[in-house]
Structure 1
Amino acid sequence: MSGHSSETGSPARRFDAERINTLVQTLAILGAGAWGVYTFIYEARIKPSLEPPAVSVTTTLVKAGERDDHVAIRSTVTRRNVGRTGVRVLGLVYNVIGVRAHFAARPDPGALGGDLDGASQVAAARAYTLAEPGTVILRQGVLFAGATEGPAEASDLNSGEAVSRDLIVYANRSEFDFVRFEVSLAYAREDDPPVKLRFEADRDGALSLKPRAECRADPAPCRPLRTTEFGTEFSLW
C-alpha cells in the first residue's frame, strides 16, 4: 500500500498572500497619511477661510490733565482680529458725547416702580435723570482703502493682529457730568469684495457708517459687510 500526502499551500500561493497583505498595509498607511494631510490642510486653511470675520473693539480711557473746568481724556481704541481669517477694515467712526445729569431736590420714591412684565429694557434712577441723547463733543470718521473711490490707506488685520489709535478729547465738566465714547467699525473678509461706504449724521450730529448701495433693494453688494460697535463712559467728577 502506497501512502499519499497533500501540501497545505504552495510557495507561490504563500508569496501571493504575503504580497497582498503587504500591499493592503501599504495602502492603509498611505491612506492614513493622506487623511492626516487633508485634515491638517482643512483645519489650517480651508476651515478658517469659511468662517466669518470677527473683530473686537476696546477703548481705554485715562485722565490726561485738566485746566480750570476742562478735562483732557486720552482714549486708546484697539481693534483686534479675533477670528481665523484675514480682515479688511473698511471704516471707523468715533463719537464723543457729553451728558448732563439732573438731580432731584427730593428723590422720587416711585421712580423704581412700574410694571416690568413684558419689558425688553429697564432704565430708571431714583434721584436723577440724564439729559439724553446728550451733546456731541467730537466726531471723527475715516474710510479705508476699498470703501471709497478716492485715495485711502489700507487697514488689513491678520488673525490675532491688533492696531491701536490714541486720541485726546477735551470736555467741560461745568457743562457735562460724564462723556460717552462710541466706536463703530465696518469690515469684511480680506478675500471678499470691499463694500463702498459713506458717512451719515443724525439730527444730533453723531456720525455713522452706511453702505453706498441700497441694501434693501439689492442685498448682494452689502452681504460681505460686518460691523462692530463699542461704547463706554467716563465720569468728569
Structure 2
Amino acid sequence: MAGEAPSRGFSAERINTLVQTLAIVGAGAWGVYTFIYEARIKPSLEPPAVSVTTNLVKAGERDNHVAIRSTVTRKNVGQTGVRILGLVYNVVGVRAQFTDSTAPDDIIASKLDTATKVAAARSYTLTDPGTVILRQGMLFAGAAETNADPSDLNPGEAVSRDLIVYADRTQYDFIRFQVRLAYIKDDNQPIRLGFKLNSDNTLAFEIKSDCRAESSICDKLKTTDFGTELSLW
C-alpha cells in the first residue's frame, strides 16, 4: 500500500501540468482567433461605406461668366475594401426671384401638420429645381459593358478629382453641385449600370443587371449622395 503514494502524486502532477498546458494552448488559440476575427472576419462582415465631399472655389471670371473649380473627394470610411462602379455629377443653376411680399406666418403654420417639406424665405423665392448646366457620368470596371478603368478603395483610402464648371452670373444667382456614387464591396459580384435622365433632366444611374433574377446581387449595391452650393455674387 505504501508504494502507491508516488503513483498518486505523479498522476496529480501530470494532471496539473496537463491543465496548465491546455490553458496556455487555449489562450493562444483564442488570441489567434481574436486576431483573425478582428483583422479579417469582422471587416468582411461590415457593409461598405464611402463618404463624398466637394469643395467649390471661384477660379476666375470673364465678362459675366464665372469659372468654378470643384474638388470632389471620395473616401472609403468603412472597414472593408470598396469597388466604385460609377459616379455622376450634376451642376444646376438656380435663380432667386425677389419680391416685396412673403407668405404670412399663419398660412405657413397651418400647413406644418401635413407637410413633408417646408421652404419659406422672406422676400424671395428660388427657381427650383433650376436649370442643369452640366452633366457628367463615369462607369468603372465591373459596371460598364465594355472595358473600363477600375476604381477600388482600400479602407481609409481617398481619391480626389478636380472639375472646372462655367456659369453665367446674369442667368443664375448660385449653383448647386450634386454628386452620386454607386459602389459595392470589392469581393461582391459586379453590377451592370447605365445612365438615364430624371424628370428634372439630371443625370442618374440605372441598373442594367436583371434584378428579378439576381435580387440578392442587386441588393448589395450602395449609393452615397452629396450636394453643396456656391453663390455667384
Match of 1:192 in 2: 188
> Secondary structure, in 3 states, of the residue corresponding to 2:170?
coil
Give the Å deviation of 1:122: 1.5
Name the aligned partner's letter for residue 174 of structure 2: F
Q: Distance in 2 between matches of 1:196 and 1:43?
A: 32
Match of 1:3 in 2: none
Map 1:19-98 → 2, pairs under 5 A: 19-98=14-93
Equivalences, count: 232
Q: Distance in 1 between matches of 2:212 and 2:227?
A: 27
Bigger mean CA deviation after superposition, 112-121 or 227-236: 112-121
Match of 2:9 in 1: 14
Q: 1:178 aligns with which of 174, 178, 183?
A: 174
Q: Distance in 2 between matches of 1:221 and 1:190?
A: 13
1:164-222 superposed Cα distances (whole Å, 9 cap, x missing partner) = 00001011110000000000000000000000000001244310011113536752331
Give the Å deviation of 1:17: 0.5
8 Å CA contact 2:57, 2:68 repeated in 1: yes
8 Å CA contact 2:103, 2:120 repeated in 1: no
| 2:154 maps to 1:155 | no
- The 1:102–1:153 alpha-carbon spacing in structure 2 relative to 1, beyond 3 Å, is same
Bigger mean CA deviation after superposition, 113-122 or 180-189: 113-122
Give the Å deviation of 1:8: 11
8 Å CA contact 2:67, 2:166 repeated in 1: yes
Q: Distance in 1 between matches of 2:151 and 2:168?
A: 33
8 Å CA contact 1:112, 1:126 repeated in 2: no
Match of 1:167 in 2: 163
Q: 1:120 aligns with which of 109, 113, 116?
A: 116
> Secondary structure, in 3 states, of the residue corresponding to 2:142?
coil
Name the aligned partner's letter for residue 227 of structure 2: G
Q: Distance in 2 between matches of 1:188 and 1:41?
A: 23
TM-score (norm 1): 0.92
Q: 1:213 aligns with which of 201, 209, 214?
A: 209
TM-score (norm 2): 0.94
Larger Rg: 1
> Secondary structure, in 3 states, of the residue corresponding to 1:160?
coil
Q: Which runs of 5+ in 1 are unaligned?
A: 1-5
Cα root mean square deviation, aligned? 1.8
Q: Distance in 1 between matches of 2:34 and 2:79?
A: 17
Give the Å deviation of 1:138: 0.5
- The 1:9–1:122 alpha-carbon spacing in structure 2 relative to 1, beyond 3 Å, is farther
> Secondary structure, in 3 states, of the residue corresponding to 2:201?
coil
> Secondary structure, in 3 states, of the residue corresponding to 1:10?
helix
> Secondary structure, in 3 states, of the residue corresponding to 2:183?
strand
- The 1:181–1:216 alpha-carbon spacing in structure 2 relative to 1, beyond 3 Å, is farther
Q: Distance in 1 between matches of 2:123 and 2:211?
A: 44
Question: Percent identity of the aligned residues?
Answer: 67
Name the aligned partner's letter for residue 66 of structure 1: E
Q: Which runs of 5+ in 2 are unaligned?
A: none
Name the aligned partner's letter for residue 14 of structure 1: G
